[in-house]
Amino acid sequence: MVNINIIYWFVLLATFVGIFFLGSKTELKLWARVITALVLGIILGFTFGDAAQSSKWIGDLFVRLIRMLVIPLIFTSLVAGVVSMGDPKRLGSIGVKTIALYLISTMFAIVIGLVLGSVFQPGQGIDLTGVEPMTAGVASTSVADRLFGIVPINPISSLANGEVLPIIFFSILLGIGIIMGGEKTKAVGNVFAAAAEAVLKIAHLVMQLAPYGVLCLIAWVAGTMGMGALQNLFILTIILYCGCILHMLLVYGGALKFIVRLPLIRFFRGMLDAQAVAYSTSSSSATLPVTIQCVQKNLGVSQTVSSSVLPLGATINMDGTALYLGIVALFSAQIFGIDLTLADYFLIALTVTLTSIGTAGIPSASLFLLATVLSVIGITDSQTALIVGFVLPFDRVLDMARTVVNITGDATVSVIVAKSENELDESTFLDDAVI
């Protein structure tokens, strides 16, 4: 009897050849190839089951290639973006607009999550008997510690360790310093602009591998989770996915349609590459190079805005996380029979807002923030451990949807800010030939 792993690899390689043919012999755009690969990955995963794990390393290698570019891209593009403003006052204007929009969209996400959790009550009838508790939570930090964490003692060490917030802080200061130096430091600014462009070119090359990486990652998820896992958390999954879609259409779509008066379909088409990568990697940080490329090349956002707004968004804008934590908070309260008051809902919203900001842009990071959110409504540590043990095995599928929301929100804010600062090339945004 032929080993199923051998059959799987034969089919996988044949699929790779087919995707390569689509890219080299036809006019099929990259986003279409990525979506095609995503669908094929689901089919292969469900068909071959555990055998799909054998190709996961290809997807991991693709993610590693993208992650390789994240820190260099944040550093070079942010410095170049600040320098391109020419006036530090513009940085303040862009920064205020960006943070305000991120906070507003996060509040809308929480409201949607709480409403859906209240209406559909996904926790009703759930039995946690037999669920193995798992430790959840992160070390609590004071406001002062958070502020100290933004200012790096050694910027080089922060770059080496991939500490995003300290890198953003130092990059902004360095950019301001280059502006203040005038003609003496102009050459340094040109170096950073060239370096940022070089990193984006590398990102473009890496993105050509996206269909293969996405296929293997999705095949692994579908193969290991299977349809059986869907039964345990079916209602919660459906509610979350519906919430994510509603948030993107109503909040992001509404903002684009009524605030900056731009077509929604064109926006979402321009973001398909980034959304597909976000869905497969479950990491907004890993998707950042692709997000920047889509926003600049497909949507016409200037480097000045994109290099400032998007790295900040990958760090503090976690609408998908906020929506998810709101739903799971009610999910947990319903399981344990806790009646929530209006004050409890307000407390959940406030806690989720503060918790979601700064969530690590890595797979399932938000799940381990549950302890903070659930503690405010009286759920004990042992009960939280049961919730985590129940959700964690399937959280990857939930996280995939959350990440798509996060990066789509980043792109939406960048477009709005760019429009308000006259940094949006609308001819590029409206040009269907671009994508």
Low-confidence stretches of the chain (pLDDT beneath 70): 1-2, 27, 85-88, 90, 125-147, 225-233, 354-369, 392-393, 433-435
pLDDT digits (tens, 9 = 90+) for 228-251: 555 556 788 889 999 999 999 999
- The total number of structural domains in the chain stands at 1
Q: How far is CA 300 from CA 51, 153, 270, 411, 415, in A?
A: 42, 37, 10, 11, 8
Can you list the positions of beta strands (E) in 192-287? none
Q: Is the pTM above the cut of 0.85?
A: no
What letter does residue 83 receive in the DSSP assignment? H
The confidence score (pLDDT) of residue 137 equals 46
Q: Considering the chain, what percentage of its residues have pLDDT values greater than 90?
A: 15
pLDDT digits (tens, 9 = 90+) for 176-216: 888 888 888 889 888 988 888 888 888 888 888 888 888 88
Residue 301 bridge partners (DSSP):
424
The confidence score (pLDDT) of residue 172 equals 82
Say how far apart CA 354 and CA 304 lie, in whole Å: 28
CATH, residue 62? 1.10.3860.10
Say how far apart CA 113 and CA 106 lie, in whole Å: 11
Name the residue among 208, 212, 199, 213 with its Cα closest to residue 292. 199
Host H or E run for residue 63: helix 56-85
SS3 424: strand
Say how far apart CA 181 and CA 369 lie, in whole Å: 43
Q: Which two tokens stand for residue 339?
A: 């009646």
The confidence score (pLDDT) of residue 141 equals 52
Amino acid at the residue 175 = G
The confidence score (pLDDT) of residue 138 equals 47
Q: Containing domain of residue 409, as a range?
A: 4-434
